Structure 1
Amino acid sequence: MAIIILLLISLTLWWESPPATKGADAEGHEFSAERAFKHVEVIAQHPHPVGSAENEKVRQYLLQQMEELGLNPKVDIYPWTIKRNDITESFDLHNIIGVLKGSQGGKVLMLTAHYDSTPFGPGANDDAVGVAALLETARALQAGPQLANDVWFVLTDGEEPGLLGATAFWNEGNYRETIGLVANFEARGSKGPAIMFQTSNDNGTLISEFASFAPAPVSNSLVGEIYKTMPNDTDLTVSLKAGIPGLNFAHADGWDKYHSPLDTPEYVSLATLQHHGDNALAAAKHFGNVDLSDVASANRVYFNWFGILIHYPQSMVLPLTLLLCAMWVFSLIFYIRKETVSLKGVASGLLAIVAGILLSLAAAYIYYKVIDVLGILKPEQGSPAPAVNPTFYNIGIVLLALFVYLIVTRFFKRRVNEMEMVLSGMLFFILLLVGTTWFLPGASYLFALPLCVHAIVVGCAMRRKHPAGMLNRAWAIILCAILPITLFTSLFHLLFTAMPLSSNIVCAALCSILFALLHPMMLRFISVRPPEHRADYSIISG
């Protein structure tokens, strides 16, 4: 069983890894990370914040490259004054706009990234990778057939001090009337997949179209819901406020390099650059031939699963939640009448899960404090990066939660039978489902889909003389485990690579609930076998 779990986890992570890098000898119509990386090396030689002489050098290089690509670039200049820390600064913003002409006109597709960096680092990932991806995309498009729509390559200035270039750009009324869709390319790290982490509202058409062309989609509506609650902004924030539909891409692994002196070409992943470029090129080829005058339709719930983007209407979330609640209540009543479970046993199961949650959180907090006191993940001297990879210590939270769950399970082994524990785990999932349905509908798939499978298996067991015996069948255990393990692996992968250890303590609680849902599988890890005295393999309390 452990082999199956490891296989599911490995396959999920493999499908979410960036694609293989294409070399400089790739076909002309293909995106090559090696060709694009040459731009990164030039752009990210030194820090080049807005208004600096280094930024002027970068701008001249970009203009030269866009002219050679036949994009006929122009520079929009905006005088700007900002006040930071009681200091007033005045400078000119310079947005660069290159145009790849289409054959039919219509609404424009805009591909955008910002070319300024922070004063603290050269900005190789943030956002020279995005800029280089767009330059190589423009070159690849020139080598292929002409698109129907114009494609604008907009390289904004002054993003780092507060989205200044994007704000100035969208203050132009004629731009709002001209552009039909925006794809923004950003960074919050130095490696990992290029995640499509944000869309505009009424994203149904965008998600359906993205699912049809994305070569290796890594995206889910959970990330979009989480991002809405965060204070972070990108240039897409401004275009969304202007009412322009859009997609937002970024990589987030290796976040310790973000906004630091280590954001250099040395720490750029070619695989990540390839993923950004594949997304940009595929988006341009697809949306460059689509009518962009109206791409709004009802929101969809979506997530990547083994290399494809699964999506369904968000309008299904509430009915599905109500149905699953009704099925759980029906199952509880049925098994109580069948004397397979008791209310006391289910209550004990709920108590066991609560105990597991609290103990796991406590253990994870102590674990974090010990690591913090020992300074294991503190930056190296003279560097903002930790001396060791924090991912392994994040995995420790999961292992701690597993250890706690197995101990709690042994303590409650004579109070709760397997069906009672599974129903208790389903109830916690239902509570989380109800919460996400109300507050974060895009995150509801994480709980709704595993519950659907469990509801079917538990329902099928009703026809058996020994229902709990069915839960121990290998096929039932594996069937019930596939979605929870793969979906939560994807979630934890995102959190462990994009967030610090202190923020991931909450994962211990999620693990406790997940283990309860997969209780029959968890029993395989300990020497706890249900007694065979009762026809349903239950364990009589007391």
Structure 2
Amino acid sequence: MGDTDKPQVSYERIEDGVDSKPQEYRKKLEQNSTGPWYFASNFLLFWALLFLAVVVPLLYRLPVANTIEDASKGGFIAERAYDNLYEFDKIGPKVTGSDANENKTVQFLLKELALIQQSVLDDYFDMEIDVQVTSGSYLKSEIIYMYRAVQNVIVKLSPKNSTSDTYLLVNSHFDSKPTSPSAGDAGHMVVTILEVLRVMSTTKQTFEHPIVFLINGAEEKSLLAAHGFISHKWATFCKVVLNLDAAGSGGREILFQTGPNHPWLVDSYKKNAKHPFATTMAEEIFQTGLLPSDTDFRIFTQYADLIGLDLGQCFNGYVYHTRYDRIDVIPRTSLQNTGDNVLGLVRGLSNATELRNLNAYSEGHAVFFDVLGLYFVSYSESNGIIFNYAVAGATIVLIFVSLWRTASASNVFTGHVVGWFILILVLQVIALLLGLGLPVVVAYLFDKYGLSLTYYSTPALLIGLYVCPSLIGLSLPSFIYLKLQRDDKVSFAKQLQLVLHGHATILALLGFGLTLYGLRTAYVVTWTLVFYIIPLAINLLTTLHDRGFAWTGVLKAFQVIPFLYNSYLFYTFVVVLTPMMGRFGLSTNPDLIVSALTALGTIFSLGFLVLLVHISRRSSLIFLGLLAVTALTVYTASSTQIGFPYRPKTNVERVHYLQARRVFYEYDGTVSKDESGYVFDFQDRRGAAPLMGTKVNLTGLVSMKSDCEKYMMCGVPLNYKSTESSRVNGMWLPREQPIETPSVPVLELLSKTVLADNKTVRFEFNLTSPDQTSLLIQPYEDVTVSNWSFLLSLLESKTSSSSPFCINISYGIDSSPLNFFIELTKPNGDFKVPLFKIGVSSLFIHSKGDALSLKLAASFPSFAVAIQFPAMYQRYIY
């Protein structure tokens, strides 16, 4: 029949491995099947542009702010809330115990509440206002937190003739840290509560359960006022709490704690929050206790057995607890976002049928997350476990089917393909370790050479420092394998598919392990796999799986969703946690945290996609490009001003220190030490280094480690929230002139009485001190504290005999002297020798200090914020 009767060579069939033809055909086919040299760079550029065009705008998206003209619609009015915030901000810092907090702010709140009460629809609602003055104490981490006369402003809004004895509690706080006007933390939430109360009390939309709005006056001092509320007459009826706080200013508020248990609360958030922003991952990270923050939510759930939701402002944490936390960094749109959500939640929760019988809905936790702020996903933890295992199992099964199909299409034994796949699996384990490890190595080296936090004010540096090394690590092992492997029986396209299967297999095993460990955050792994196995199933059900690189088209289309979500999720954490790295102290290398977080984001967002660059004939160029970006970034971060962490006003260095005087009295009443200086508690890894070479005179600055080994709590005043790490890493700058404190605390021994058993002695004291004072009590080895005026539970639970007892005392509107007693037991009954040491640590938070201290504070550079005040430490021996 001539030439037309000769069989035709089918390159496609050769690619599938069905026909066995000369090797040159195969090489020609593989060359023609790969993309052009510029494919890899354009491919990665596409995903970068997609991130910038979709993820970033949606993360920062805020609703249009309502004005007074919109009041008739019955919604939250950001303009009114902003006007209230302006007045709140004008008051200035509101430290518990100060006139600004105890008088000016309370009067501001009562004035606004009186205006709201005048407009209440009396036919529909009853409104009651109460100012609680509360005292008490509680135990946390072997420290007693004692408070006296702190204030709460409380409002109860009830439907007319309500018979419900189950109340909803809505809480925030109006006090602040020293120097901070607290517009964000938590003035933003305070004015949100006022506006929500105004809207609900002036619209005819009723509700079933009474609502208690608590605006408490002592949160920053270890959550004291929230604990004090537990004794209020309305507290026993409160069963669910909506807690509102902040670790930043402006932007969206995140739901980061729920429950405990009661997954219906998450369902309520899903139904009623207009602008969802939440993730189980945030909840599990926060509840590890690793972050330098806490909220009243812990008090309500731990001490009052409440359940609820914890929401907080989280963006722009750079100004958090500084003098720059002002109204000018909070847009009205941010208030509208929070107001819409809180109003919806308060209305939803106050009508929740679950409040009628909470015990019936108490089982289990929830898995929850928002998708780009557009949609909210939630399901029970039990369903999540089943889902995680099912997806992990389906992944393994479909990959095995794919291996079998590959062997069949390639006309080889399945064992042959499995053998290569095991090698690939090992290489992908190495790839994941490199993808995570290379950024961590960069972080370690930067920190080793004193260059930590280079990204602090220039987050774009994270791309070159951590993202690019992670991409190199993820793709390098497979790049080497695909270049060196000599398996002519299985095509290049299918070898590449095996590489992606290897990555998926590891994720499946990871998802299985995380679920078995009990982490709900495993949902991230599961949903990433879902959008791999769906296109895999489609490819297997069609001929695409066996047609060269045709399978990549479906995969890339489906990868859009996990890329957008995972990059959105991890970018959120980078944005939120980066400012916190300026508050982790000297002992923690924050770069390790940020590098690992960025690497995980890269792995989950681009783990499958970056492997597709091997399709390009010149994929080596992408490695050179990534290396070039990393090298340029390393140079920029280490050798130019761009890598300097701090910027005035926007990205400041926090410098906490005390103007400290310490006096040591011996057993006979003589003074063995009386010296003054500045006690520095540096808030970030760089410590004093950025201040060297500036106008600040730090000559003589020394470590306090030796003092910490000799004296109780290092023998210096305890800072506002002093931790063991901050004390041990503290620095002492001596000063010749004595520190001038506003007053001198007085500890007066009233009596010393030996009790009837002749083995116990009772000391009674009177203490006159400022509103922030700590007592340290250290008995000698043969002496036991058997009774005292404070919580007895500390005497029963204290595990370490070497560390002193610590009682932190805070006053609100009552700073009268404190009377207390201590009873000590000694087996031999000899009480004519030293029995115990007692330290009095006093902070004069409301004073700026003497002239010399003010001169030092004024010498700090513009990029540093000094947070300081006078303090005194007195050590006695009795």
If the TM-score is normalised by the length of the shorter chain, which range does it land in?
Answer: 0.7 to 0.9
Task: Specify whether residues 304 and 47 from structure 1 end up closer, same or farther in structure 2 by C-alpha distance, changes over 3 A only.
Answer: same
Once residues 372 and 31 of structure 1 are traced to their aligned partners in structure 2, the CA distance between those partners, rounded to angstroms, is 51
Letter paired with 1:399: C
Which residue is 2:797 aligned to?
none
**3-state SS in 2 of match to 1:246:** strand
After the TM superposition, which residues 73-472 of structure 1 pair with which residues of structure 2 at under 5 Å, given as runs? Answer: 73-79=129-135, 91-103=148-160, 104-106=162-164, 107-148=166-207, 149-172=209-232, 175-231=234-290, 232-241=293-302, 242-291=304-353, 292-295=355-358, 296-297=361-362, 298-306=364-372, 307-338=374-405, 339=407, 341-355=417-431, 357-358=433-434, 361-366=437-442, 369-370=445-446, 377=453, 389-396=457-464, 397-414=466-483, 415=485, 417-463=495-541, 467=545, 469=547, 472=550
Once residues 223 and 90 of structure 1 are traced to their aligned partners in structure 2, the CA distance between those partners, rounded to angstroms, is 31
**3-state SS in 2 of match to 1:311:** strand
Once residues 525 and 134 of structure 1 are traced to their aligned partners in structure 2, the CA distance between those partners, rounded to angstroms, is 57
Which residue is 1:383 aligned to?
none
Which residue is 1:486 aligned to?
564
Letter paired with 1:38: D
1:309-330 per-residue CA deviation (whole Å, 9 max, x = no partner) reads: 1112221223223323333333
Letter paired with 1:342: V
Cα shift at 1:83: 11
User: After the TM superposition, which of the residue ranges 302-311 and 224-233 deviates more from structure 2?
Assistant: 224-233
1:351-381 per-residue CA deviation (whole Å, 9 max, x = no partner) reads: 2452453365334542575489686957xxx
Once residues 261 and 52 of structure 1 are traced to their aligned partners in structure 2, the CA distance between those partners, rounded to angstroms, is 17
Once residues 524 and 467 of structure 2 are traced to their aligned partners in structure 1, the CA distance between those partners, rounded to angstroms, is 18
Task: Specify whether residues 224 and 522 from structure 1 end up closer, same or farther in structure 2 by C-alpha distance, changes over 3 A only.
Answer: farther
Cα shift at 1:189: 1.1
Indicate if the aligned counterparts of 2:256 and 2:310 stay in contact, CA closer than 8 A: yes
Where is the helix percentage greater, Structure 1 or Structure 2? 1
Indicate if the aligned counterparts of 1:113 and 1:155 stay in contact, CA closer than 8 A: yes
After the TM superposition, which residues 31-50 of structure 1 pair with which residues of structure 2 at under 5 Å, given as runs? Answer: 31-45=76-90, 46-50=92-96
Letter paired with 2:230: W
Letter paired with 2:468: L
Which residue is 1:504 aligned to?
594
Which residue is 2:839 aligned to?
none
Q: Does 1:515 align with 2:606?
A: yes
Cα shift at 1:8: 5.7
Indicate if the aligned counterparts of 2:259 and 2:365 stay in contact, CA closer than 8 A: no
Once residues 99 and 193 of structure 1 are traced to their aligned partners in structure 2, the CA distance between those partners, rounded to angstroms, is 27
1:475-524 per-residue CA deviation (whole Å, 9 max, x = no partner) reads: 41234313321221222122111113622211354224653433564446
Once residues 427 and 381 of structure 2 are traced to their aligned partners in structure 1, the CA distance between those partners, rounded to angstroms, is 33
Runs of 5+ unmatched residues, structure 2: 1-42, 118-126, 411-416, 486-491, 579-589, 621-878
Indicate if the aligned counterparts of 1:301 and 1:442 stay in contact, CA closer than 8 A: yes
1:96-129 per-residue CA deviation (whole Å, 9 max, x = no partner) reads: 1012221334222221110100113121111111
Indicate if the aligned counterparts of 2:176 and 2:220 stay in contact, CA closer than 8 A: yes
Indicate if the aligned counterparts of 1:49 and 1:118 stay in contact, CA closer than 8 A: yes
User: After the TM superposition, which of the residue ranges 103-112 and 185-194 deviates more from structure 2?
Assistant: 103-112
Letter paired with 1:185: L
Indicate if the aligned counterparts of 1:361 and 1:508 stay in contact, CA closer than 8 A: no
1:323-350 per-residue CA deviation (whole Å, 9 max, x = no partner) reads: 2333333334334444274333343344
Which of 56, 68, 72 is residue 25 of structure 1 equivalent to?
A: 68
Once residues 52 and 616 of structure 2 are traced to their aligned partners in structure 1, the CA distance between those partners, rounded to angstroms, is 17
Once residues 53 and 427 of structure 2 are traced to their aligned partners in structure 1, the CA distance between those partners, rounded to angstroms, is 33
1:40-99 per-residue CA deviation (whole Å, 9 max, x = no partner) reads: 222233211111111021111111111211144211111357999x99986421011012
**3-state SS in 1 of match to 2:149:** strand
Indicate if the aligned counterparts of 1:112 and 1:182 stay in contact, CA closer than 8 A: yes
**3-state SS in 2 of match to 1:147:** coil
Letter paired with 1:321: N
Once residues 474 and 348 of structure 1 are traced to their aligned partners in structure 2, the CA distance between those partners, rounded to angstroms, is 19
Indicate if the aligned counterparts of 1:18 and 1:274 stay in contact, CA closer than 8 A: no
Letter paired with 2:430: V
Once residues 169 and 521 of structure 1 are traced to their aligned partners in structure 2, the CA distance between those partners, rounded to angstroms, is 58
Which residue is 1:381 aligned to?
none
**Greater Rg by CA:** 2
Once residues 301 and 548 of structure 2 are traced to their aligned partners in structure 1, the CA distance between those partners, rounded to angstroms, is 51
Indicate if the aligned counterparts of 1:301 and 1:312 stay in contact, CA closer than 8 A: yes
Aligned length: 520
Which residue is 1:538 aligned to?
none
Indicate if the aligned counterparts of 1:352 and 1:412 stay in contact, CA closer than 8 A: no
Letter paired with 2:295: T
**3-state SS in 1 of match to 2:356:** coil
Once residues 158 and 213 of structure 1 are traced to their aligned partners in structure 2, the CA distance between those partners, rounded to angstroms, is 30
Letter paired with 2:95: P
Once residues 412 and 183 of structure 1 are traced to their aligned partners in structure 2, the CA distance between those partners, rounded to angstroms, is 54
Cα shift at 1:222: 1.7
Which residue is 2:50 aligned to?
7
**3-state SS in 1 of match to 2:251:** coil
Once residues 97 and 528 of structure 1 are traced to their aligned partners in structure 2, the CA distance between those partners, rounded to angstroms, is 65
* TM-score (norm: length of structure 2): 0.55
Indicate if the aligned counterparts of 2:431 and 2:476 stay in contact, CA closer than 8 A: no
Q: Does 1:60 align with 2:116?
A: no
Indicate if the aligned counterparts of 1:225 and 1:443 stay in contact, CA closer than 8 A: yes
Q: Does 1:527 align with 2:618?
A: yes
Which is bigger in relative contact order (C-alpha 8 A, separation at least 6)?
1
Letter paired with 1:462: L
User: After the TM superposition, which of the residue ranges 457-466 and 131-140 deviates more from structure 2?
Assistant: 457-466
1:384-432 per-residue CA deviation (whole Å, 9 max, x = no partner) reads: xx9x734323344223322444444432323482221111111221133
Letter paired with 1:316: N
Indicate if the aligned counterparts of 1:188 and 1:252 stay in contact, CA closer than 8 A: yes
1:157-208 per-residue CA deviation (whole Å, 9 max, x = no partner) reads: 2111111011111244x54431232111110112331111111122321111
Once residues 185 and 212 of structure 2 are traced to their aligned partners in structure 1, the CA distance between those partners, rounded to angstroms, is 21
* TM-score (norm: length of structure 1): 0.86
Indicate if the aligned counterparts of 2:365 and 2:380 stay in contact, CA closer than 8 A: yes
Indicate if the aligned counterparts of 2:223 and 2:299 stay in contact, CA closer than 8 A: yes
Letter paired with 1:328: T
User: After the TM superposition, which of the residue ranges 470-479 and 198-207 deviates more from structure 2?
Assistant: 470-479
Once residues 164 and 204 of structure 1 are traced to their aligned partners in structure 2, the CA distance between those partners, rounded to angstroms, is 28
User: After the TM superposition, which of the residue ranges 282-291 and 338-347 deviates more from structure 2?
Assistant: 338-347
Once residues 144 and 271 of structure 2 are traced to their aligned partners in structure 1, the CA distance between those partners, rounded to angstroms, is 49
Task: Specify whether residues 322 and 367 from structure 1 end up closer, same or farther in structure 2 by C-alpha distance, changes over 3 A only.
Answer: closer
Once residues 276 and 311 of structure 2 are traced to their aligned partners in structure 1, the CA distance between those partners, rounded to angstroms, is 11
Report the RMSD for the aligned CA atoms in angstroms: 3.2
Cα shift at 1:11: 2.8
User: After the TM superposition, which of the residue ranges 480-489 and 254-263 deviates more from structure 2?
Assistant: 480-489
